[in-house]
Chain A
Amino acid sequence: MDQGYKSLVHLTTGKHIPGDRNRALCFFVVRLKILQYFRCDLSAIADDYLSRDQKVEIQMEVRLKFEAGTLVLENWEDPKPPPSFTWDRRLERWRAFAMAYSQILQWLDERNYDVKDDACHFHSLDLHAKSDFDLRPYQKESLLAWEQSGRRGSVVLPTGTGKSIVALKAIESAGLSTLVVAPTIDLMNQWYDLLSGTFDVEVGIVGGGYHELRDITVTTYDSAYIYIDQYGDRFGLLVFDEVHHLPAPKNSHIPQMSIAPNHLGLTATYRRLDGLHLKLRSLIGPVVYQRSIKDFKGEHLSDYEIVRISVPLEPEEKTRYDEHHDVYASYAREHGVAYFGSKSRPWEEFIRESSYDQKARRALLARREALKITLGARRKMEVLDSLIKQYHSQRVIIFTENNDLVYHISKNFLIPAITHQTKIIERKEILDRFRSGIYHLIVTSKVLNEGVDIPEANVAVILSGSASPREHLQRLGRILRKRSGKKALLYEVITKGTKETGVSYRRRASDAYQ
C-alpha cells in the first residue's frame, strides 16, 4: 500500500512517480476531480486499485506550459500530438508556437481531456475609460466588426480618423492584459500618454530605456521581438499599431510567440509592396473593417489649405551649396545615379559603392552637406520668424526632419522640442501643456510621423520634407483634424533652386492632395 499511496500523491502534485519507467503502473484512470468530488479517502482508493493485479489506467492530466515563446505539452501519451505540435527531440517534448494556445485548449476540451493550464499568465481587467468617448458611426462599426470576428483582425482607417479611439474601446471591451506594439519609440510614448490618460491603471513600458511590465504595457516592434519569448504568456490582447510592420520576418515572431487569443491591427496602409500583408491573416486575423480617405473628405477631416513658400539660398550658402552639389552631381551624371534618392538607378548600389569607392564616398558626403545647407537655410529661419510673429497665438507645430535643426529652432525661438531623444515624462508634459494651451508652439522632428494625435494644432510649418509620399500624407492627416469651423493651415517652406524642390513636387502627387 505504501508504494501505491506514494504514487497517487505524486500524481496529485503533478510530480513524477518514482520509477515511472514501470509503464504498467502508469496507465491508471483516476480522475482526481472526481475523487475530490466524492471526498474519497485517497489512500483507501489507492490501496484498492493497486492491490488488484489487473491493469488499471490512470490518465494523467495533460499539462500545458509556456516555455520561451512556445507551448510545451506534458503527460501526452498518444504518439500522435494535437494539431500544430512538433516533437522536439532535443529536449524530448511536444512543442508548438505559443500562438496555438486558444486553438489547442479548444481541441483538448472537445476531446474531454483534463487540462492543467500552466501556460496562461494574463488575466481579466475591469477597465473603464475615464471619460466616455463619443464614437463616430464608423468607429462603432469597426469595433463591432472586430468583436464579431472573435476579437481578431485588422481595422484599416485613414490617418486622422481616430484609429486609436477604436483601439482604446477594443482594449476596454476585451478586458484582458494588453500589450500595445508601436513602430517607433515616439509612437510608443504616444500610446503611453493615451492609455494612462484613458484608464485608471499604471501603464508599463518596455523599450526606449524602460523595462516596466504592467497589465497594460506599451512597447516597440523591436523590443517586442527581443522580449516576446519572455513575456508572451502575460497578455491576452495584442494591439499592433501600424500593423503593416508586423509581417516582416522578425516582427512576425511577436504574435507567434504569444498566447494572446485576441489581436487588433491598425493601419491606414494595409498593403505592402512586397506582398507580405497576405501573411497578416494567419498571424492576427483578417481585415475586419476598411475605409479609404475618399470616404472621409470633408466629413471628419477639417478642410485645409496648403501654402508653399520658396526661399532662395543666400549668396554665401548658394556658393557652398553649389560646390557640394557639383561634386555629387558630376559623380551622379558619370555613374547614372539619380538625383536625391529616386530609385531609378538603385540608390542602394550607390550607397554600397561608397563603402569601397573613394569617389562615391566623397559624392555621398557632398550630397549630405548640400542637403544640410538647404535644410537649415537662413532665409527659412526668417520665414519661420515671420510665421511665428503671425501665428504665435494659434496652436503651431513646426516640423523638420533634421534633429539638429529642431534643437536649433528650440534654442533660438525658445520653443519646446520633441525628438526621439526626449524622455517620456518630459514629452508627456510638453504635449499636455500644448493641449491645454500653456504652450502654443512646439517644434519636432519626424518623430510625430505615424499617427500621433495632436488635435489642437491648426497651423503646421514643414521646414524640410522627405521624399516619401506616405510619410507626408500621414503628417498632413494629423494636422487636418476637424476643429469647429476652422481651416487648418499648412506651410511648406522649401528652398528655391535646389534639388529639394523636386522632392516636394513628387510628394504632391500623392493622393492626399487630390
Chain B
Amino acid sequence: MLTSDLVRYYIDGDHIIPLFISRRESSRYLRICREVIHIFADHEGKRRKELSDALEQYESTSTDFKIYRGLAKLLLDNCNFAPIWEGDYSQLRQKVFEKAQTAYPIVLQPDLLHQTTKHLVLKEIGEEFGETSERLDGLLYGDLSENLILTGTEREMSPRELLRRYNLALAQGILYRAVRMRIWIQQDFKPVFKYIKLAQLIHEIRPVASGGYEILLDGPASVLRRTQKYGIHMARFLPGLLLAKGWRMSALVETEQGLKTFALDAACGLHTFYRKEHPFDSSLEEKFFTAFQAAKTDWHIHREADVIDLKETVLIPDFTFTHPDGRRLHMEIVGFWTPEYLEKKLAKLKRASRPDMIIAVNETLNCSKEEFDGEVIFFKTGLRPQRVIDVLETNPEG
C-alpha cells in the first residue's frame, strides 16, 4: 500500500475524491509504469541506494513525482533485498573501531604528530579478514538498508497490473483516515464477510428492501470517540469488497477540511487482486445444488443468499429456499470436517437458534439431534433433494 503522503486526492464540496489514473490517461502512464518496472529490473544485483538514486533521477524532471513515487513504492513492496556479504557486520565494525581507537587520532591530513590514516587501520584489519582495505572500506556499512542488494521480486508485475494496483492503493490510502464505512452488497456475501472478519471490523447489518444488505463498518472504540484507528483496517478490507458484484460504498473521512464523504461503486473501474474462492465449499454441495435445480418442485434454491447476523460474526447458510407463496427457509450442510471445525460450526448454529434453519448432517459425524435447534436431516453419502423438499413442506416456520 502507499504511504499517506503519496495519496493523491482533491476535495470537492462534501466529497473527497482520489485522483485515479483514468482510462484516458492510461496510455501515458502505462509507459511510465513500464519504465519504472524497467528501472527496477535494471537494478537487480545493485545497491538499493543506486536504485533510489535512479528513481529520484527519473522523477526529478516531472511534477508528477507523487505518481512516480507511488508506483515505485508498490514495486518496492514486492522486492527482496539482501546484504552483499554474509558475515557479521557489527562485529566487523567493532573490530575496526577498536583498532582505530588504539591508533587515534585518525586523520585526513597526516602531519608530523598525527600520521595514522584510515587506510593504515583498514589494511591491518583487512589482513585479519583476508580482505583488501578498499573492499573493507566498502563493506563497513554493507548492512545498511541503502547498501543492500536488490536480489529479485516476489512476483512479476505487468505495467497494466501495476497501474491497477496503483489506483486501488489510492482508494485504500484515502481510507487510512476513514472513521466509518458503509457498504451495500447484493450478492457474494461470503467473500465480503470473510474479509470484514480478516480486517477485524465490526459490522452492523440492515437488509435493503430492494435486496441485499447495507453494512456499517467500524471498530470497537468507534462508539466512544471519532477515531481513524480503524481506517487502515478498512483499507485492507477494500479489495475484499471489490469481490462482490454490484458493490457500493461510502466512507466518512477525516480531512484537513473536516469530515468528507468518499464514495465508490462497482463502476469506478477498480480491480481487486484478492482471489475469490471456489464458489462451493464441497462437491457435495455442488451436486446437491445441481440436483435440486433439476428436481420437480415449486421451491427455488439460492446459494449463500442470506446473512444471519450473530453480532460478532455472521452465519451465511449454504442454501436458502424460497417458495412462490413467500415461504423462506435456510439450510446449512455439515459435511466431512475436522472435530475443531465441527465444534465451531455447532456453536455458531446454536447461537443462531433459528427455527427457519434446516441442518443436514452427515450421519458418520458424531453428533446427536439434540445439538441442533432446528430441523435436522441425516444423510450418509449424498443428500437427495426430495428429502429436503419433504422437510421444507412440513416446516411450520416456512
Write the residues of chain A forming the contact surface with B, with a CB cutoff of 8 angstroms. 67-70, 86, 88-92, 95-97, 225, 229, 249-250, 253, 256-257, 354-358, 361, 365, 381-382, 385, 388-389, 392, 407, 410-416, 421, 423, 425-426, 429, 438-441
**Given the complex of chains A and B, what is the CA–CA distance between A389 and B114 in angstroms?**
8
**Do A68 and B219 touch (CB < 8 A)?**
yes
Give the chain A neighbours of B216 by CB distance below 8 A: 90
Are A440 and B109 interface neighbours, CB within 8 A? Answer: no
Does the CB pair A70–B203 fall under 8 Å? no
In the complex, are the beta carbons of A253 and B144 less than 8 A apart? no
Q: Is B97 touching A415 in the complex (CB atoms < 8 A)?
A: yes
Contact A229 B90 (CB under 8 A): no
Q: Are A389 and B97 in contact (CB under 8 A)?
A: no
The interface of chain B, by Cβ under 8 A from chain A, is 60, 62-63, 65-66, 90, 93-94, 96-101, 104-109, 113-114, 118, 121-122, 137, 140-141, 144-145, 202-204, 216, 219-221, 223-225, 227-229, 311-312
**Also in contact, A357 and B63, with CB within 8 A (given A69-B220, A229-B221, A385-B109):** yes
Point out the residue from A86, A365, A412, A413 that lies within 8 Å of B224, measured CB to CB.
A86
Interface-central residue, A89, A95, A411, by most chain B CB under 10 Å: A411
Least CB distance from B284 to A in Å reads 32
Check if A407 sits within 8 Å of B114, measured CB to CB: no
A-B contact pairs, 15 of them (CB 8 A): A92-B311, A95-B224, A96-B224, A97-B225, A225-B229, A358-B62, A388-B104, A410-B140, A411-B141, A413-B100, A413-B105, A413-B106, A421-B145, A440-B104, A441-B104
Chain A residue at minimal CB-CB distance from B312? A91
**Min distance, Cβ A253 to any Cβ of chain B, angstroms:** 6
Say yes or no: A416 contacts B63, CB within 8 Å: no
Q: Hey, which chain A residues are within 8 Å of B107, CB to CB? A: 385, 388-389, 413
Decide: A253 and B224 in contact? CB cutoff 8 A. no
What separation, in Å, do the CA atoms of A96 and B223 have in the docked complex? 9
- B311: chain A residues at CB < 8 Å are 90-92
Known interface pairs A95-B224, A253-B227, A438-B98. Does A365 touch B144 (Cβ–Cβ under 8 Å)?
no
| Distance of B176 from chain A, by nearest CB (Å) | 11
Instruction: Report how far A358 CA is from B106 CA in the complex, Å.
Output: 45
Top 8 A-B pairs, shortest CB-CB distance: A414-B100, A68-B220, A392-B105, A426-B90, A392-B104, A385-B108, A416-B97, A90-B204
Among B60, B109, B221, the residue within 8 A (CB) of A257 is: B221
Chain A's closest residue to B105 (CB) is A392
Do residues A95 and B220 form an inter-chain contact, with CB atoms below 8 A?
Answer: yes
How distant is B23 from chain A, measured CB to nearest CB, in Å?
22
Q: What distance in Å separates the Cβ of B376 from its nearest Cβ neighbour in chain A?
A: 19
Contacts of A426 in B (CB 8 A): 90, 93
Q: Whole-angstrom distance between the alpha carbons of A225 and B230 in the complex? A: 11
Most buried by A among B100, B122, B216: B100
A195–chain B nearest beta-carbon distance, Å: 22
Q: Which residue of A lies closest to B113 (CB)?
A: A389
Max count, chain B CB within 10 A of own CB: residue among A91, A385, A414, A438: A414
Complex Cα spacing A225 to B108, Å:
46
Write out the residue numbers on chain A whose beta carbons fall within 8 Å of the beta carbon of B203: 90
Known pairs A68-B220, A97-B224, A414-B100; A356 contacts B63 (CB<8 A): yes
User: CA A224 – CA B352 in complex, angstroms?
Assistant: 37
Given A97-B224, A358-B63, do A414 and B312 touch, yes or no (CB 8 Å)?
Answer: no
Besides A410-B140, A414-B99, 19 other A-B contacts (C-beta < 8 A): A67-B220, A68-B221, A70-B221, A90-B203, A95-B220, A97-B221, A97-B225, A256-B224, A256-B225, A257-B221, A358-B62, A361-B65, A382-B109, A388-B105, A392-B104, A392-B105, A414-B96, A414-B122, A421-B144
- The reply to whether B101 and A438 contact each other, CB–CB distance below 8 Å, is yes
| Closest Cβ neighbor of A98 among chain B residues | B221
The answer to whether A355 and B312 touch across the interface, beta carbons within 8 angstroms, is: no
